[in-house]
Amino acid sequence: MKAWMTSTAIVLAMCMGASALAGDGCGAKAKDGEKATAGKGCAATCKDKAGMAAKCGDKAKGDCGDMPKVMYKVADKSFCCEKEATQVAKETEGAKVLYVVAGKEYADKAEAMTAYRDQLETFLGNVTTVRYAVGDDVVSCPSAAADMAKDKKADMTFRVASYKFDKKDAAEKAARAAAEAADKVSLKMVVDGKTITCDKAAEKACGTTKASLPEGACKHAQAADTAAKKPTQATQDCEYMISTDENTKIHCPIMARVELAKARIAAAMKALESATGQNVAGGA
């Protein structure tokens, strides 16, 4: 099987962290002994990714790679660290933090995180699906790719994430491995000390718990969200855990879905690395 990386920008470590979102508001609690927010000196625009990786904490790195990212905007300034944006907003009269996802600004954090989750899930679909390439043009439709190959008199190749394959069966095998690895990552809910793996049962339990919301928890989920993807309000008796990282507790149902998508992307990328024999961080 001939496969190689066409880009070295995807770094597996970028998929593994809980991201810069684990701070005030709708976010995950930090592990014991670990800071929940990015360190000082975060680059203002993420243009210098190398500098960003060096200055920001691990939780910020995930939002400055090839994965969809959330940017934070205060007036005319943009940040990739929520902590820094929040501090600037506090120091600027009349300013507030806006959340930017896929170029769209949101004033409401829960709405922004819902959009971010959708972006991550779309990205996950892309890294677990075979796409078709002719030169630098990559499409999802094989017929469109065949037409491009005919027009350009060039060969069609196959892509899974940033891996390039000469043979379709090899690409399909790698995509299956990535999808299977992603599917193994699950979301667990702990309600009043009891672990529940069924989404509907957990949502019902969380919704009927009468305890008050903890400070910093996500206080509302958007009505525009579908019932299947929108758990009800989380309470202090309802926690979410990713099966690959049960030490980190998440109280916000929307952020739980965000972190689940990130963990699945990480699992998929690791499976692709194993399936192709290529190192994601270093390329070939």
Report yes or no: 112 and 49 within 8 Å, Cβ to Cβ.
no
Number of Cβ atoms within 10 Å of the Cβ of 90: 12
* Same domain membership, residue 87 and residue 142: no
Give me 42's structure tokens. Answer: 């975060």
Is residue 93 assigned to a domain? yes
Residue 232 included in any domain: no
Q: Do both 138 and 84 map to the same domain?
A: no
- Residue 202 is predicted with a pLDDT of 56
Domain shared by 88 and 54, yes or no: yes
Domain shared by 95 and 136, yes or no = no
Tell me if 117 is assigned to some domain: no
Please check whether residues 42 and 100 belong to one and the same domain: yes
Asked, for residue 222, whether it belongs to a domain, the answer is no
Question: Is 200 inside any structural domain?
Answer: no
**Do 138 and 102 fall into the same domain?**
no
* 50 and 100 fall within a common domain: yes
Q: Domain containing 42: what range?
A: 38-107
Domain tally, the chain: 2
The answer to whether position 142 is within a domain reads yes
Which residue among 181, 213, 245 closes a domain? 181
Contact 81, 56 (CB under 8 A): yes
In sequence order, what are the beta bridge partners of 72?
79, 99
- Express the helix, strand and coil content of the chain in percent, nearest 5 each: 40, 20, 45
| Per-residue pLDDT reduced to its tens digit, 79-117 | 999 999 999 999 998 899 999 999 999 999 999 999 999
Does 186 reside within a domain?
no
The pLDDT tens digits of the residues spanning 165-220 come to 999 999 999 999 999 999 999 988 888 777 876 655 655 666 543 333 333 334 43
95 and 147 assigned to the same domain: no
- Whether residues 47 and 96 fall in one domain: yes
Q: Is residue 170 part of a domain?
A: yes
pLDDT band per the 50, 70, 90 thresholds, residue 150: very high
